Amino acid sequence: MGKIIIYSQQIHTATLIAEVIADTADVEYCDTPEELIRHCIEHKPDLVIIIAIAPFLNGSHIIRRIRFRGGRRPAIYVIAWHQSEHIVLSLLECGVDQYMTFPICMGRLQSKINQFLQSNDTR
């Protein structure tokens, strides 16, 4: 079974996504960027789902900190409301593996996660 960490400041959104994917992986929830980084270092997830773009805009180099040297390199999915081509390209260039926008189809998200976990033999 894979390990997934969800970062969101909105507990309801994170809980909804966690419920949808709970049968697929062990899911943990974080509500601060610092907690996300600490959880990634301690628990070495297969996938990190970030429900916001703010952590990418403050110069914290969050992707580099999540994918620390010598550790597991988790895939990073971002789900946000922004659909600006500039934002999407910037996130992909800095290392985000998937970018999805709200409103999101939960079945599609679950399918992407299942496919990712199966292709990486984490189940």
- Residue 99 has φ and ψ, to the nearest 5°, of -125, 125
Q: What pTM was computed for the model?
A: 0.89
Looking at every residue in the chain, the average pLDDT score rounds to 87
- Residue 83 has φ and ψ, to the nearest 5°, of -120, 15
| DSSP 8-state code for residue 77 | E
For residue 27, what pLDDT band results from cuts at 50, 70 and 90?
A: very high
Q: Which residues contact residue 106 at a Cβ distance below 8 angstroms, ignoring those fewer than 6 apart?
A: 16, 17, 20
Summarised one tens digit per residue, pLDDT across range 31-88 is 998 999 999 989 899 999 999 887 777 666 788 888 876 666 899 999 998 778 888 8
As for how many domains the chain has, the answer is 1
Structural domain harbouring 102? 2-122
Q: Determine the distance from the C-alpha atom of residue 58 to the mean position of all C-alpha atoms in its chain, rounded to a whole number.
A: 18
List the CATH number of the domain containing 69: 3.40.50.2300
**Structure confidence at residue 45 (pLDDT):** 93
**Structure confidence at residue 28 (pLDDT):** 94
